[in-house]
Every structure is written in C-alpha cells, then in structure tokens.
Chain A
Amino acid sequence: MEINPIIVKELRGRMRGARATITISIHLIAITVIMMLTYANIYSSQSLAQSGTTGRILYYVIMGVQLLTLTVISVTSTTSAISSEREKQTYDVLLVTLLSPRQIILGKLTAALAYCFLLILVAVPLEVLTVMIGGVGLDEVLVGNVALAVMSIFYGVIGLYCSTVFRTSGGANGAAIGFVIFLAVFWPPLIGLFSATARLGADSDTIWVIAWVLLSLSPGAAFITSFGVSNLGRDSNLLIAKVPGSRDLYLLQPWLMFCIIALLISVLLLNRATRRLYPSDRPLSQKELRARITEQADGGRKIAVAQLPASSPASKAKQLAHACAQESFST
C-alpha cells in the first residue's frame, strides 16, 4: 500500500530547509534553559532541595513549556492547511485528482501532527532525566505525553476545521487561536464561577460532576487538576480521582476525561471538515436523485429511466444512482 501522497508532499514541504530543524532546536534549548534556571532556584532554596520533589518540579516545568509550545504549534500548523490551497490557487487541481476529501484532510492532519509528535518525542530524554532525579514516576511521564499528544490532535483538528471554514489563512488563524486562548485562559475561571454560584442552592455532587467535565475541556486546567488531585491521597491515582470536598464521589481524572472528550470532538470536526471540503464530490442522496429526475421529467424532457420498484428500499438508492448514470435525454 502506498503512503498518502498528501503526507509525502506536506512532510517534504515542512521538513525541507532549515526552518524545521531551527524550530526543534529552539524548542529544546528553551526547555533546557528553563529547566536549568529552575534547578538553580531549587538549590538556592534549602527547604525545596531537601523535600525530594526536585524531579517533580522540573517535570512540571518541562510539561508547562511543552504545553505552551505545542498549543501554538499544533493549532497554527493546520490553520493554513486548506485555506492556503485556496490562496495559492492549487485547490481546484487538488480536488480534481482521485484523492478523496478524507485522504486530503487526514493527510494534512497527519503531516502536521507528525511534526508535533516529533516535538513531544525530542523532549522525552529530558523528562526521563527528571525521573532519575526523583519525585516523579515513569507512569506520570507517559500520561503527560499521551495528554500532550491528544491535545496536539485536538488543536490540530480545530485549526484544520477553521481552515475549511475560512477562505483565508489569516481568518482561520485568528478564529482557531482565539478559540484556544478562550479555552486556556477564560474557560477555567468561567467554570470556577459557575460551580461556585451553582453550588449555593443545588446538589453539590451533580454540580461537581458538571464542573469537572466542563473543566476537562481546557487541557491546561485538566493537566494541573490531574497532577494536583493524584497527589492528594491514596483515594486517587492517575486514572481515577476522588473529587476534593465530596463525600464519596469518584470521577475519571480530568486529563483522561479531556482525552476522551477531545478525541470525540476531533472525530466530529474531522467529519465536518471532510464534508465541507468538497460538496460536489458527494454522490447525490436518494432524495436529491429523485428530485433531479422528477425536475427533468417535469421539464418535458424524455428520460429513459425505468419504473423503479416501490419495494426493496435498501437497493433503491443504488438503482436510482444507476438510473441516473444511464439516463439519456433528447430534446
């Protein structure tokens, strides 16, 4: 089986030249420098250095930098995926090829995500270093990277969807980045406000569940809550958390909930993006075909369409499609 040509083309364009290497280098240097500064700070504070949490703090720092970098890169790497084809006027020639809209969409997304995953991968040695320093487990490193990967997919799909909606890359960029900023900065306080207000006169467990799920939509808030809650006691682990303040309420950890919700939304948006890409390629539905045939018959044109059987509804669409393909007109 041959690789999707879109992936080959996109990766050629993305990885050729110095830009990709420079970005990865800057990404790694930034993480390393921030890590070293944090390490120096920790050792200047006696109490922190002796608390045995050096590795954990360093791990949080790495994840924080990764979160910021990947938020920007994942969303911006797809916002021009389709709109740039329109801007460069290569859209039409792409659409007349035998590539399906799904192949085009998935090819664009895969190439963008391959680059994001590379950024996640290159930081893994630094994360493993924090495990060796102590205070953080390998399972947490794994969870952190899975969550980052899912976040990249989620933001990548949002960027891609905006790219199919907006005609220009500028518009798609603005909309996608605006949405991501809203999710990262404004969403958690809104949910906090909602839960604080709602808990005044309602069943607090129900409000907790709603707030927990809504908060999980914001990856930053979900990660912080997950790592915080998982360290609160023996009742919580990396997958399940006892909701703080509740009597006996256990829920999926916010990072896991985020992953599930984000992947579901991503599938839905991908589907929408595919449909938006090329409406003309979609075969006519049974209803549309029937309407077309009726309209043409009403127009006084002779159509060689045989009487279609009223029964066998399952095969009707196929028969109609075949009839439409075989129809002949005469004036």
Chain B
Amino acid sequence: MSQTTTGLVVETTHLSKTYGPFLAVRDLNMNIAAGSIYGFIGPNGAGKTTTMRMLATLLRPSDGDARVGGYSVVSNPKAVKRQIGYMPDFFGVYDNMKTWEYLDFFAASYKVPASRRVGMIDDLLNLVDLGHKKNDYVDALSRGMKQRLSIARTLVSEPTLLILDEPASGLDPRARIELRELLKELGRLGKTILISSHILSELAEMCTHIGIIERGVLLASGSVQEILQRVQPIRVLLLRLLADPGTAVATVQGVAGVVGVDVVDEPASPIPPAAEGAAGGPPLSLRVRFDGDERAMGLLLWRLVQVGLPVYSFSEEVSNLEDIFLQVTKGLVD
C-alpha cells in the first residue's frame, strides 16, 4: 500500500548520481502526481535511464533521495519495489519459457499467491492482447509482442507506478501504435506512468506531464500546458479573412493583447468566388502574436466580426513537444 499523503507518487529531492568525476544526474527535484503519464524527455546520455534506475532501486543515489509511493529508495528499497513495475530499455528473453510461465515466474517473484496467479495471468494477457499466445514460447514472439508482454510483466505486482524506459525503441510503426494505445488504456485505468523517450512524437499524444532533462539537469517539469505557457508566453494566432491588408492590420493592432501582426504570403486559398469580393476584400492571412488568455482571444475575434471583416479561419498555432524541447534546451544540446 502506498504511504503518500501528498498525491505525489514520485518525489525526488536533490537527487544526484555520480560515476567518478562524471555527474550523471545533478540535483534533480521532480514530482509526479498520481494518475499522470509523465514523459521523461531528453537526448541520449541526458540522465533519463540513470534517474529511472535510481527510482527502480537499481542504483543507489550518490546524494539526495527519491520517494516512490512515500517510500525512500535509499532507506526502504524493498517497499519501493512493491510500488513499481519496471521495464528496462531492452527486453531480455529467457530460453525455454512459455508466455504464461514468464508471467507466472514474475508473479511468484512478487509473492502473488499461486491461487490468484492463473486468473491474473489470463487477464493480463488479454489486456495486452496476447491471450492467444499464452502457450507460445517467449523467444518466438515478435518484438512488439515481447514489449507488450513486458508491460504485462510490470503489472503483475499491481504497482502504483510504471517506469518504462524507452518502451517503443526498435518497434515498427504498427507495434508503436499498439503500444501507445495500450499505454493510453493503462492511463485510463488510473496507473501512474513514467515513460522515457527521445522520440518526442511518441510521447506527444499520451503524456499529461513532461520533464525535460539534459546533461543530468532537469530543465523543466510540469503539465504540458504549464511548460508551454512558460516557454512560450506569447501565443501565435493564425487568422484568415477577407479584407485588404491595411484595414485588417489596423483593426487587429487596435485590440488589447496584440503584440505584433505579420501578413503571411500564402498560396491562393480555396475561397469560393462568390464569397470573394462579396464583403471585405481579397483573402488575407495574418500571423498575430498575442499576449492574452482565451477570453482575450474571443474578444479579438468579436472585434473583427464587429467591424465587418469576414473571418473564415481563426486558430492558435499549437506548439508540440518538439517545439517545447527545442525551446527549453536551446543552446544546451550539442
């Protein structure tokens, strides 16, 4: 049972790991709330795996501490082990072992009673869509299936936290999609997941929170929106309307919150000839830098409509994880 009272599954305080003179993880303070899917992002060698191995009690921190489910990885590693399901970045295979035997072995290793194991193994195999492979040998499964089986293994102890280190590396596109759907499903089931990757598109769809680490330093940590607002306080709005540039730019600049306006040269937009010239003017695209919240954005749109400028597209340029990563690590990535 988890000991935490703060709603945090993971709390690290000044967590550090050195290998001789090399500082792999430096003074890391990271919190992961219960139920979140936390994407741990960073280039190769940034310290992701080292941090995860410390959380999994496989490495002892050189300094600081980390709590998983309220238990310290330094003073109570055994209790931490009960809280976690750990999947390393490479799936090792035991020879001569069937799929159900693989799960049975790990369930027994987590002291799950034999009477409960049979039903649990069936449930887990069905969850990862490997029910039909129950009696197949593990080493005969495809890589994607092995990864899914490995995720099933992490669930045998009914952990609070899943630590998944590069789970999608080496998978083909179909296996990646299947894995992503499985992780989303686990997220819906309320599992807290810490997942690392240096392939950002993998994480973009499923993560509720992210942490960006580079050279052992946690550069940013929080919800995707929080970090986005932190790294990009100025929103970028894309407007398409029918107006002459002078009128449109003057109107937009007169609205509170607008920092700057650029006219965008775009190929001819597919505006119906009937609409063109009926009101306003020729099709026009504007890129508006805007410092305001959703309400202020609504007021901008309302103002344009009020002055009689036909707006046929109004959207915010959404930054993705790659943009965030590049912003946060600007100047640090080699």
A residues within 8 Å of B by Cβ? Answer: 2, 5-6, 8-9, 12-13, 16-17, 85, 88-99, 279-281, 283-284, 289, 292, 295-296, 299, 301, 321, 324-325, 327, 329, 331
List residues of chain B with CB within 8 A of the CB of A98: 78, 81-82, 109-111, 157
List B25-50 residues whose CB lies under 8 Å from chain A: 29
Taken together as a complex, chains A and B put the C-alpha atoms of A284 and B57 apart, in Å, by: 13
Q: Which one of B100-108, B273-281, B321-329 contacts A?
A: B100-108
Report whether over half of chain A's contact residues are helix, strand or loop; otherwise say mixed. helix
CB <8 Å contact, A92 and B58: yes
CB <8 Å contact, B14 and A299: yes
CB <8 Å contact, B95 and A13: yes
B residues within 8 Å of A by Cβ? Answer: 13-14, 29, 53, 56-60, 63-65, 71-72, 74-78, 81-82, 84, 86-88, 90-97, 101, 105-106, 108-111, 113-114, 153, 157
CB <8 Å contact, A16 and B96: yes
In the assembled complex, the CB of B81 is this many whole angstroms from the nearest CB of chain A, namely 6
Partner of B84, one of A96, A99, A292: A96
Taken together as a complex, chains A and B put the C-alpha atoms of A64 and B59 apart, in Å, by: 47
Given contacts A5-B109, A93-B86, A98-B81, are A325 and B76 in contact (CB under 8 A)? yes
In the assembled complex, the CB of A62 is this many whole angstroms from the nearest CB of chain B, namely 32
CB <8 Å contact, A324 and B96: no
Taken together as a complex, chains A and B put the C-alpha atoms of A292 and B88 apart, in Å, by: 28
Taken together as a complex, chains A and B put the C-alpha atoms of A93 and B155 apart, in Å, by: 12
Taken together as a complex, chains A and B put the C-alpha atoms of A120 and B141 apart, in Å, by: 38
In the assembled complex, the CB of B75 is this many whole angstroms from the nearest CB of chain A, namely 4
Taken together as a complex, chains A and B put the C-alpha atoms of A39 and B92 apart, in Å, by: 51
List residues of chain A with CB within 8 A of the CB of B58: 92, 95-96, 280
List residues of chain A with CB within 8 A of the CB of B110: 97-98
Q: Determine the residue in chain B with the shortest Cβ distance to A281.
A: B77
Partner of B105, one of A9, A281, A289: A9
Taken together as a complex, chains A and B put the C-alpha atoms of A93 and B157 apart, in Å, by: 13
CB <8 Å contact, B109 and A92: no
In the assembled complex, the CB of A57 is this many whole angstroms from the nearest CB of chain B, namely 41
- Output the residue of B53, B86, B108 with the most chain A CB within 10 A: B108
CB <8 Å contact, A325 and B75: yes
Instruction: Give 21 A-B contacts (CB < 8 Å), ordered by A residue.
Output: A2-B108, A2-B113, A5-B109, A9-B94, A9-B101, A13-B95, A13-B96, A17-B96, A89-B92, A92-B56, A92-B86, A93-B92, A94-B109, A98-B81, A280-B59, A280-B60, A296-B64, A301-B13, A325-B72, A329-B13, A331-B14
